[in-house]
Amino acid sequence: MGQSQGQIDRIFQQQSQFEIRFMDNPELKTSPSGEINQWQAQFEDLRHLVVSILVLVVIMSGTFSVFLLRHWSQTRRDLAAYRTDASVFVEAYNKQGGPQMDAFIEKLKDYGRTHPDFAQILTRYGITQAALASPPSTTKPSTPPSKK
């Protein structure tokens, strides 16, 4: 009786060891068709993930496109308004103000050729000419003569 009880215990022990091995190694419990199903499920999950990411990227890209479109149309409107004012201003300058200023500067240059003291003022404004490069020195020496 005691011997048969020992055999039963040994059989139970072997069975439980087999169960532990079986649980540790999942490959043993799945059949080939089950493995394919598992792979297919993982593939479907991956596909869903890719589609979700694509949808998100499309939304982001669309939002960015709309932002750029609005920004560009605003800039275009501003430019149209600015161009109208600026072209009037530039045209008025080119027709009237510019030539008058040029003529005024030319006259001052001519005047500066004969008046070296005024030429110094012109030089300060970057209006120089070859004739002004060596003006006749009319300045007095800075140091006063020593009194005896």
Partner 1 sequence: MKNSPLTAFLVAVLAVSALLSLVFCAFYISSTRERRRWEGQVEAIKNRNKAVTRLATEALEYSKHDTNIDSILVWANLKAKSTVSSSNKASSK
When binding is defined by CB under 8 A, the residue of 12, 22, 39, 72 that contacts partner 1 is 72
Token pair listed for 43: 């593939």
The neighbour count for residue 10, using CB atoms within 10 Å, is: 10
Residue (14 or 120) nearer to partner 1, CB:
120
Please work out the total of residues on this chain that contact partner 1, with binding judged by CB under 8 A: 42
Residue (16 or 100) nearer to partner 1, CB:
100
65: contact with partner 1 by CB under 8 A: yes
The neighbour count for residue 123, using CB atoms within 10 Å, is: 15
Listing DSSP states for 57-92 in one string gives HHHHHHHHHHHHHHHHHHHHHHHHHHHHHHHHHHHH
CA distance 90 to 85: 9
CA distance 45 to 38: 11
Place of tokens 């030089």: 123
62: contact with partner 1 by CB under 8 A: yes
When binding is defined by CB under 8 A, the residue of 21, 41, 101, 129 that contacts partner 1 is 101
129: contact with partner 1 by CB under 8 A: no
108: contact with partner 1 by CB under 8 A: yes
- With beta carbons less than 8 A apart as the criterion, state whether 95 and 115 touch: no
For binding to partner 1 (CB under 8 A), which residues are involved? 47, 50-51, 54-55, 57-58, 61-62, 64-65, 68-69, 71-72, 75-76, 78-79, 82-83, 86-87, 89-90, 93, 97-98, 100-101, 104-105, 107-108, 111, 115, 117-118, 121-122, 125, 127
